[in-house]
């Protein structure tokens, strides 16, 4: 359905907001210099973030189309109406949680109507994504012009010359400089060329139940049990373990209370991030950029004392988690457990905060708080082989898992000027500054990734509670900007490493092998894989990804 006939009337909130802004500008004497364009953009952002409005139900296809149409301004400035008539583009992306590609369809419908181009869609489930992409690359059967892809795959795609370099006009249209620092080059680039329109910023933050940690009865029981310190949100993994063990058998709102939720079931490689989030504070030393492999040799660190300790933590915590936790993957922990009111702490990407507040599927609503991942009282130093206690206190190392999704245009459009411009125009529309604000505000699969996304007032104007959104955005900003953040290695085949690890971890968690033996097995398999893919090349790429 096309959305040409909708009329967005300003509501009371936007009118008042606009009037207040105008008054403020008038009194400051700046009105004369205030550009019409900036005012229009501010007004547009206020308009789109009201569609449908936070707390007014989950957005629908009609909403996505409305937002897509309202954000067509930059496209209209660079493309004539009907300029791409006859151009057919193929777009490959995900359909997780009925988001990603489903939103893109809605956003791009008005773009298709205006430009005349047609887009066909290749929808993939998360677990199908990696094999589909790898097969297309290896067999030379790239059958898509635009690709939704995470930065970890840049080695596989950009490194093999399969992507199209971003034209300067796109950089200008999407306001490339607005990206948060950690998503600026080298992320999105390869060999000095820029390839990616960033539409997501990824890190695991710590999601916790505010009601659980403010519950007076639990606080009393915590004290009565002889625990040290006040009852509150854990700041270290040691505290997470203690709280998880304490909560077993307790009640909250007449329901069984649980602490931390692990995700032991494999999830196509993506489940490994959840162990990595437990491990980063132990394994990522502030004086060492590497934490997964030795930077000069690619020798795995997965079997060093830091990672083994994280694995052991999972083993120790599982008996205190729900009885079927062994069969829970991250999708289960996030969407079927935590958002449904089971468990009180999980690491996840920003989806939890969006869905909790802005989706009908959430049961818990806004009783969620956010922080960077917990730290550790000590951190393993791989160079000395000893555990260090830092003078500054616990070691924090937010896990910048996956580095976010981006939109890439494939090199196969390069030979056709019209198609090339059309593909980049579509990518630029999806990654547009204003459209991106809507995407990170509502359930989309994407989280804040631009400096302009951290204007808290825009969020509260859309209907977010100030305390809630401040906690949510600060947890992300603090992770992105953390000096000791643990950054995803952008090396080819990274999900093969993760998938191998998942298989062995499930054996460890089921009690078939102990943590150290299992970790040794993972390390041995990773060594073999590195040799198979090409060690020297992997070392080079790993170094580049760490900026070492």
Partner 1 sequence: MQNSIPVSDDRHHKPASPPASAGRKAAGRALVMLASLGFLLVLLIQLLHATGTIATGFSDWRPILIAYLLWAIAFGIGQVLTRGERGQRALFLLPAVFFTVAVVIFPTIFGIYIASLDWNLSSIEGPRFSGFDNIRGMLNDAYYWNALGNMIFYGVAVLGEYAIAFGLALLLSAEIRGRKFFRVVFLLPMMLSPVAVSWMIGKSLLEYRFGPAATLARYLGWENPAFFASPWMARLSIQAMDAWVSIPFIMIILLAGLQAMPREVQEAAKVDGANGWQSFWHVTFPIMLPVSITVLIIRLIFKLKLADIVINVTAGGPGGATDTISSFIYRVYRDRSNVGYGTALAMVYLLMIIVLLTVLLRLSKRWTQKVV
Q: In angstroms, what is the minimal distance from the CB of 323 to partner 1?
A: 4
Q: In angstroms, what is the minimal distance from the CB of 317 to partner 1?
A: 15
Which tokens in the block code for residue 215?
A: 């519950």
Which tokens in the block code for residue 395?
A: 């070691």
Orientation angle between helical segments 494-509 and 305-317, nearest 10 degrees? 50
Instruction: Indicate the residue among 350 and 518 with the shorter CB distance to partner 1.
Output: 518
State which of residues 225, 327, 365, 548 lies at the interface with partner 1 (CB under 8 A).
Answer: 327
Q: In angstroms, what is the minimal distance from the CB of 135 to partner 1?
A: 7
Q: Does 1 bind partner 1 (CB under 8 A)?
A: no
Instruction: Indicate the residue among 418 and 537 with the shorter CB distance to partner 1.
Output: 537
**220: CB partners within 8 A, 6+ apart:** none
Q: In angstroms, what is the minimal distance from the CB of 330 to partner 1?
A: 12
State which of residues 5, 224, 324, 360 lies at the interface with partner 1 (CB under 8 A).
Answer: 324
Residue 7 to residues 66, 243, 425, 445: CA-CA distances in angstroms? 9, 51, 25, 27
Q: Does 249 bind partner 1 (CB under 8 A)?
A: no
Nearest Cα to Cα of residue 282 among 502, 486, 526: 486
Q: Does 248 bind partner 1 (CB under 8 A)?
A: no
Give yes or no for a contact between 355 and 362, defined as CB atoms under 8 angstroms apart: yes
Residue 258, Cβ density class (10 Å: 0-12 exposed, 13-18 middle, ≥19 buried)? buried
State which of residues 14, 18, 52, 160 lies at the interface with partner 1 (CB under 8 A).
Answer: 160
Q: In angstroms, what is the minimal distance from the CB of 336 to partner 1?
A: 7
Q: In angstroms, what is the minimal distance from the CB of 311 to partner 1?
A: 14
How many other CB atoms sit within 10 Å of the CB of residue 36? Answer: 7
Angstrom distance (rounded) from CA 474 to CA 369: 11
Nearest Cα to Cα of residue 6 among 51, 57, 66, 46: 66
CA angle 332, 395, 209 (to 5 degrees): 35
Instruction: Indicate the residue among 361 and 506 with the shorter CB distance to partner 1.
Output: 506
For tokens 């096309």, the residue is 2
Q: Does 253 bind partner 1 (CB under 8 A)?
A: no
Angstrom distance (rounded) from CA 83 to CA 87: 9
Which tokens in the block code for residue 529?
A: 């894989």
Residues 365-424 that bind partner 1 (CB under 8 A): none
Q: Does 545 bind partner 1 (CB under 8 A)?
A: no
Instruction: Indicate the residue among 65 and 499 with the shorter CB distance to partner 1.
Output: 499
**216: CB partners within 8 A, 6+ apart:** none
Q: In angstroms, what is the minimal distance from the CB of 406 to partner 1?
A: 19
Q: Does 98 bind partner 1 (CB under 8 A)?
A: no
Q: In angstroms, what is the minimal distance from the CB of 329 to partner 1?
A: 7
Q: In angstroms, what is the minimal distance from the CB of 274 to partner 1?
A: 14
Residues 485-544 that bind partner 1 (CB under 8 A): 492-493, 495-496, 499-500, 503, 506-512, 529, 532-534, 537
Q: Does 191 bind partner 1 (CB under 8 A)?
A: no
State which of residues 323, 383, 392, 547 lies at the interface with partner 1 (CB under 8 A).
Answer: 323
Instruction: Indicate the residue among 61 and 123 with the shorter CB distance to partner 1.
Output: 123
Q: In angstroms, what is the minimal distance from the CB of 271 to partner 1?
A: 9
Q: In angstroms, what is the minimal distance from the CB of 104 to partner 1?
A: 25
Nearest Cα to Cα of residue 233 among 122, 110, 133, 368: 368
Q: In angstroms, what is the minimal distance from the CB of 232 to partner 1?
A: 28
**Kind plus residue range of the DSSP H or E element containing 149:** strand 146-150
Nearest Cα to Cα of residue 402 among 160, 59, 129: 129
Q: Give the residues across from 193 on adjacent strands.
A: 190
Give yes or no for a contact between 171 and 185, defined as CB atoms under 8 angstroms apart: no
Q: Does 184 bind partner 1 (CB under 8 A)?
A: no
**Kind plus residue range of the DSSP H or E element containing 487:** strand 486-487
Angstrom distance (rounded) from CA 468 to CA 514: 41
Q: Does 336 bind partner 1 (CB under 8 A)?
A: yes
Q: Does 259 bind partner 1 (CB under 8 A)?
A: no
Spell out, one character per residue from 264 to 303, where the chain touches partner 1: x when CB under 8 A holds, - when not. Answer: xxxxxx----------------------------------
Residues 439-458 that bind partner 1 (CB under 8 A): none
Residues 129-158 that bind partner 1 (CB under 8 A): 130-131, 134-135, 137-138, 156
Q: How many binding residues for partner 1 (CB under 8 A)?
A: 47
Nearest Cα to Cα of residue 356 among 343, 345, 369, 372: 369
Give yes or no for a contact between 154 and 490, defined as CB atoms under 8 angstroms apart: yes
Residue 456 to residues 45, 448, 464, 465: CA-CA distances in angstroms? 13, 12, 9, 10
Q: Which stretch binds partner 1 (CB under 8 A): 112-120, 167-175, 317-325, 389-397?
A: 317-325
How many CA atoms does the CB half-sphere of 410 hold within 13 Å? 21
Helix (H, G, I), strand (E, B) or coil at 104: helix
Q: In angstroms, what is the minimal distance from the CB of 112 to partner 1?
A: 30
Q: Does 326 bind partner 1 (CB under 8 A)?
A: yes
Instruction: Indicate the residue among 464 and 509 with the shorter CB distance to partner 1.
Output: 509
Angstrom distance (rounded) from CA 289 to CA 546: 6
Q: Does 262 bind partner 1 (CB under 8 A)?
A: no
Q: What are the residues binding partner 1 (CB under 8 A)? A: 127-128, 130-131, 134-135, 137-138, 156, 159-160, 264-269, 322-327, 329, 336-337, 340, 342, 492-493, 495-496, 499-500, 503, 506-512, 529, 532-534, 537
């Amino acid at each position: 359905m096309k959305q040409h006939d909708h009329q967005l009337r300003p509501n009371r909130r936007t009118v008042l907001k606009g009037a207040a802004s105008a008054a403020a500008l008038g009194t400051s004497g700046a009105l004369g210099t205030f550009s019409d364009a900036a005012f229009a953009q501010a007004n547009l952002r206020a308009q789109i973030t009201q569609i449908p409005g936070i707390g007014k139900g989950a957005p629908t296809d009609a909403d996505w189309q409305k937002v897509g149409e309202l954000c067509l301004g930059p496209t209209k400035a660079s493309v004539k109406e009907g300029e791409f008539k006859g151009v057919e583009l193929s777009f490959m992306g995900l359909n997780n949680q009925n988001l990603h590609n489903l939103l893109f369809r809605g956003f791009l419908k008005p773009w298709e109507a205006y430009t005349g181009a047609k887009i066909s869609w290749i929808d993939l489930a998360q677990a199908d994504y990696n094999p589909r992409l790898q097969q297309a690359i290896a067999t030379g059967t790239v059958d898509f012009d635009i690709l939704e892809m995470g930065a970890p795959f840049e080695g596989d795609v950009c490194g093999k010359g399969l992507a199209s370099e971003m034209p300067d006009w796109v950089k200008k249209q999407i306001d490339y400089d607005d990206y948060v620092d950690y998503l600026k080059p080298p992320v999105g680039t390869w060999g000095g060329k820029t390839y990616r329109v960033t539409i997501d910023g990824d890190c695991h933050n710590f999601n916790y139940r505010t009601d659980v940690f403010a519950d007076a009865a639990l606080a009393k029981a915590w004290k009565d049990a002889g625990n040290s310190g006040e009852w509150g949100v854990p700041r270290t993994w040691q505290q997470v373990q203690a709280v998880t063990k304490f909560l077993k058998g307790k009640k909250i709102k007449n329901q069984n209370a649980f602490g931390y939720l692990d995700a032991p079931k494999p999830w196509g490689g993506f489940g490994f991030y959840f162990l990595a989030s437990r491990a980063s504070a132990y394994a990522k030393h502030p004086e060492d950029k590497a934490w997964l492999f030795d930077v000069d040799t690619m020798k795995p660190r997965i079997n060093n004392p830091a990672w083994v300790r994280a694995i052991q933590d999972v083993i120790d915590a599982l008996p205190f988690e729900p009885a079927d936790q062994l069969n829970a993957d991250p999708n289960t922990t996030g969407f079927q457990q935590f958002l449904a009111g089971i468990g009180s702490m999980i690491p996840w990407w920003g989806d939890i905060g969006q869905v909790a507040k802005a989706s009908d599927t959430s049961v818990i609503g806004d009783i969620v708080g956010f922080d960077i991942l917990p730290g550790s009282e000590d951190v393993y130093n791989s160079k000395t082989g000893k555990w260090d206690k830092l003078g500054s206190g616990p070691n924090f190392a937010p896990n910048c898992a996956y580095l976010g999704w981006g939109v890439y245009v494939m090199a196969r459009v390069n030979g056709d000027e019209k198609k090339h411009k059309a593909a980049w125009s579509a990518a630029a529309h999806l990654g547009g500054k204003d459209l991106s604000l809507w995407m990170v505000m509502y359930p989309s699969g994407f989280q804040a990734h631009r400096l302009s996304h951290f204007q808290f007032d825009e969020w509260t104007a859309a209907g977010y509670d100030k305390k809630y959104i401040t906690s949510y955005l600060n947890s992300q900003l603090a992770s992105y900007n953390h000096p000791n953040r643990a950054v995803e290695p952008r090396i080819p085949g990274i999900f093969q490493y993760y998938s191998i690890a998942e298989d062995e971890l499930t054996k460890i968690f089921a009690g078939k092998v102990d943590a150290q033996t299992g970790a040794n097995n993972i390390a041995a398999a990773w060594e073999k894989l590195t040799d198979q893919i090409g060690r020297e090349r992997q070392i080079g790429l790993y170094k580049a990804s760490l900026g070492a």
